[in-house]
Structure 1
C-alpha cells in the first residue's frame, strides 16, 4: 500500500518557506561574489527610497495644488492687528487662485480624505505582507495610488465629492506600504544597521515632500498641461514607472534573491535570531495589549505624526495666508524645511551608526536619544513660533528648525516595532501607523476648526503650541517605557494546522 500525507494550507506554506532558511536553498544561478561595491540590500534601499519619494509626492501634491485650485476669497479672513501686512510690491488680489469656491470645511475634508483610507488599510497591510510577501504589497501600495492620482483632475472637474472618494481610495491603497516595508526591512537589515539604512531609505519621505512642494508649486505657476493638473499627471506617472524596476529586481527574502552574494547572505543569516523568521506568526493580542513597550511606541507614533501632518498639510496655507507668499515662493518655502529634515535624518543616522559600530551607543540608547532629540527640539521651535510675529525670514528659519530637527526620529521610535517583535514587525507597524495615520485627518480638522474664517497670527500660534505640547508629553512616555529588547511573545507558535494521513490500497 501507499501512504500519502495531505497538509493544511498553512502547514504547506510553512514547509515551503522553511526550506528557504538554509543558504543551500538559494537559487542555482546565485552569484558567489556579486559586485564588491554594490549589494542586494543597496538595491532594496535605493528602490525603497525612490518608492517613498513617489508615495509622498502623491500624498502631498494636494497640499500645494489646493492653493492654486481654490479661489482666494473662498475663505474669509479677519482683517485686524492680528494679521500680517501684505509685503511691499506684492499684489493683493482677493480673487486670485483657482476657479473652485471650496470653503474651509471642504478644504479640510479634502486634505484629510487621503488619511481616512490610509488609516483603515495600515493594519491589514501589515498582515497581508506577512502572508503574501512585502514585495507584492509594497509594489501595489505605490503603483495603485499613483494610477489613481492620474484621475485627480477629472474628478476635480466633475465634483468635489468624487474627488474626496478618489483621495480616500488613494489612501486606502497606499496604507499598506509602510507596514510592508518595515516587515521587509526586518528580514533584510540586521538591528545595528537599521539606523543607517532607514535614514537613507526613509529620506524618501522628505525628498518626496520637497519635490511635491517645490516642483509642484512651479508646475502650478506654469501653463504646462493646464497648470495645476500637471502636478497630478507628472507625479502619478512617475509612480507607475517606478513599479517596473521594483517588480523586476526586488525579492521578499534574501534567501530568495538569485543574485545575492554568499558573503551578504551569510552576514544576514548570522543575525537570524534578531531578524524576521521565514514563517507567519499568530498574533498574540493579549500580550500586545498589555505590553508597555508597545504602548510607548504608540505614544511616540501619535505625537510625531500629529506634528508631522499638521505641518505637512497646512504649511503651504500658513505661508500663503499669513506670510502672503505667492505660488512659486510658497512652493519653495514649504519645501525648504523638509530639505533640512532630510539632511538632519541622514547625517544623524550615519553618525549614530558609527557610534554603534564602535560600541559607544547601544541600540536602546540610539532609539531613545534619537526620539527625544527630535521631539523635544521640534517642540521648542514650535513654541518659538509665538515670537516671530510677521517676520518672514525669522519665521522661515524657525520653521526650518521645527521641521528639520525632527529628522533624527527616523533612527528612533519608528524602528522599535522591529526591535521588540521582528516576527510581527508588519503587524505592529500596521497598528502603530493606524493611530499615527489617523492624525492625518485629525490634524487638518483641528487646524481648520481653529483657523477657518480666522486666518490670524494668534490662531496659527495655537496650532503650533498644540503640536508642541503633544511632542513633550507623549515623547516622554516613549523615553521612559521604550526598549529594544525582543519581547517573549515575538516567538509565538505558528497557527496550528490539521494533518491528515490517507492510506491507499494497491
Structure 2
C-alpha cells in the first residue's frame, strides 16, 4: 500500500522532480566497482555482442572470396576449381551476380527484422538469459552451416540474430540501477563495434590463408563454445545469482523496486501506439540508423570511387571508425551516469542531451564533407568523427526504452529496432539511386538527406521524449 501511495504522489510531481527520485531518495552507500555481479554481466554481454557481430560481419567479408564476377555464369552458379586472386585455393567460388550478392547480404536484415518484436516479447515472458543464449547458439550453428547452405542456394543464407538485443534489454531492466544504466549498457553495447572491427580484420586474413569456409567454421565454433559460458555465467536476476553479495542484491532490489516485474502474456499495445515518448524514440532510431547504416554500407564505396583509396587502405579506414565508436559508447555511458549521479540534469535532460550530440554533430560532419575540396584526409576524418560521435546516442535514445517502460523494455526495443532495420534496408538503396546518374552530386545529396533526417528526428525527440515511467507501463495499470 505504501509503495502504491508513493507512486501516486510521484505522478503528481513535475517530470524534472520525478526523474531520479526512485534512487536519489535513498542514497545507498553500496559501491563494489568492477568486482560486482552487474559489472560481470556487462563484461559477459560485451563478449556475447562481440561474438554476435563477428558472426554478422563474417559474411560481408567472405562474400568477396566466395564470388567471382569475372567468371562466366554457369547453370549451377558454381565454379568449383576457381579461386579469387589473393585468396586460398580449393574453396568453391560462386558466379553470383551483383544483384544476387545484394540479396545475400540483405538476407540478414530480413531474419533480423522479423525476429525483433518476437524476441522482445519472448524475453519478457521467458527470460532474457534463455532467449539471448538460444539466439546466439542458433546463430553460431547456422554460421557453421553457411558453406553447405551456399551450395544449396542463396535462399538458405538468412540471419537470425534479432532476438539478441531485445533480450539484453530485458536482462538490464532487472540488473541495472537507474544511475548506472548508461555505463553498464554502453560497456555491453561496445562489444558490437569491437566485434565488427576485429571481424573486418580477421576475416580477410582467414580468407587469404585458409579459405572462405573457415571464416564460418572458426567464428561459428567459437560462438558455440561461448554459449556454454553464457549459460553457466549468466543469471536472470540478482535473486537467482548464487555468488552475488547480499549488499549488492539489496542495492539493486531497492533501486528497481518502483518499476515492477516483467510483463505477462498480454501487452498494452493500444496505449503503446498512442504514446508520444515511444514514438519519439522510434522516429529518432529510424533517423539515426539511416545515417549509421548509410555510412556502414556505403562508406567503402565512397572511399574507393570518390576518394580513390586502394583495397588495403579502404579496409583499414573502413574499420577504424568502429574503434572510435566503441570507445565513444563507453565514455558516453560514464559521463551520462556522472551527470545523473551529481544531479546536474534529470533523466530526460540527459537522454536528450546525448541524443542531440549523437545526432546533430554527425549531421554537421556529413554536410561539411562535400565542401572540403579534394582532401581525402579531411573527408576520412569527418566520416570517422561522424561514426564515432553517433555512439553518444547510446546514452540517449537507446537506453530511454528502460526509462519509460522497464517492464516492456525488450519488446519496445524490438519495435524501435525494426524501424532502424527498415532504415538500414532503404538507405543503401536510396544512395544507389542518388549516385547512379552523377556520383559527385549524388553523394552530396545523400549526405544532405541523412543530415536532414537526423535533424528532424532530433527535433521530434526533444519535443516529445520523456525520462519517466509511463502510466501504461506501471504494474498497477497492468493489474487493472
1:482 to 442, 457, 465: 465
Between the aligned partners of 1:212 and 1:118, the Cα distance in structure 2 is 19
Q: Deviation digits for residues 58-77 of structure 1, max 9, x if unmatched?
A: 22223333344444669xxx
* Residue 178 (1) aligns with residue 175 (2): no
- Superposition deviation, residue 493 in structure 1: 5.7
Between the aligned partners of 1:484 and 1:35, the Cα distance in structure 2 is 27
The farther-off stretch of 348-357 and 478-487 is 348-357
The farther-off stretch of 352-361 and 289-298 is 352-361
Between the aligned partners of 1:374 and 1:355, the Cα distance in structure 2 is 17
Q: What is aligned with 1:130?
A: 124
Q: Secondary structure at the match of 1:145?
A: helix
Q: Check conservation: 1:112, 1:440, Cα contact below 8 A.
A: no
Q: Secondary structure at the match of 1:484?
A: coil
Specify which structure has the bigger relative contact order, considering alpha-carbon pairs within 8 angstroms and separated by 6 or more residues: 1
2:343 to 345, 359, 370: 359
Q: Check conservation: 2:404, 2:467, Cα contact below 8 A.
A: yes
Change (3 A) 1:255 1:337: same
* Residue 56 (1) aligns with residue 53 (2): yes
Q: Secondary structure at the match of 1:174?
A: coil
The farther-off stretch of 206-215 and 386-395 is 386-395
Q: What is aligned with 2:317?
A: 333
Q: Deviation digits for residues 416-453 of structure 1, max 9, x if unmatched?
A: 1111111111121111112212223223333344456x
Q: What is aligned with 2:145?
A: 151
Q: What is aligned with 1:84?
A: none
Q: What is aligned with 1:295?
A: 279
Q: Secondary structure at the match of 1:405?
A: helix
Which protein has the larger Cα radius of gyration, Structure 1 or Structure 2? 1
1:374 to 347, 352, 358: 358
1:223 to 209, 232, 237: 209
Q: Check conservation: 1:179, 1:427, Cα contact below 8 A.
A: yes
TM (norm. structure 2) is: 0.83
Q: What is aligned with 1:23?
A: none
Q: Check conservation: 2:259, 2:474, Cα contact below 8 A.
A: no
Between the aligned partners of 1:229 and 1:330, the Cα distance in structure 2 is 23
The farther-off stretch of 303-312 and 202-211 is 303-312
Q: Secondary structure at the match of 2:334?
A: helix
- Superposition deviation, residue 324 in structure 1: 4.3
TM (norm. structure 1) is: 0.79
Number of corresponding residues: 434
Q: What is aligned with 2:269?
A: 285
Q: Check conservation: 1:118, 1:175, Cα contact below 8 A.
A: yes
Q: Deviation digits for residues 388-440 of structure 1, max 9, x if unmatched?
A: 46543222211101111101111000111111111111121111112212223
Q: Check conservation: 1:281, 1:424, Cα contact below 8 A.
A: no
Q: Check conservation: 2:125, 2:262, Cα contact below 8 A.
A: no
Gaps of 5+ in 1: 1-32, 75-94, 497-506
The farther-off stretch of 307-316 and 357-366 is 307-316
Change (3 A) 1:276 1:188: farther
* Residue 107 (1) aligns with residue 101 (2): yes
Change (3 A) 1:39 1:275: farther
Change (3 A) 1:34 1:367: closer
Q: Secondary structure at the match of 1:236?
A: helix
Q: What is aligned with 2:133?
A: 139
Q: Deviation digits for residues 210-239 of structure 1, max 9, x if unmatched?
A: 11222223334x222x1x333323322221
Change (3 A) 1:468 1:340: same
Change (3 A) 1:216 1:460: farther
Q: What is aligned with 2:180?
A: 193
Between the aligned partners of 1:317 and 1:229, the Cα distance in structure 2 is 25
- Superposition deviation, residue 151 in structure 1: 2.2
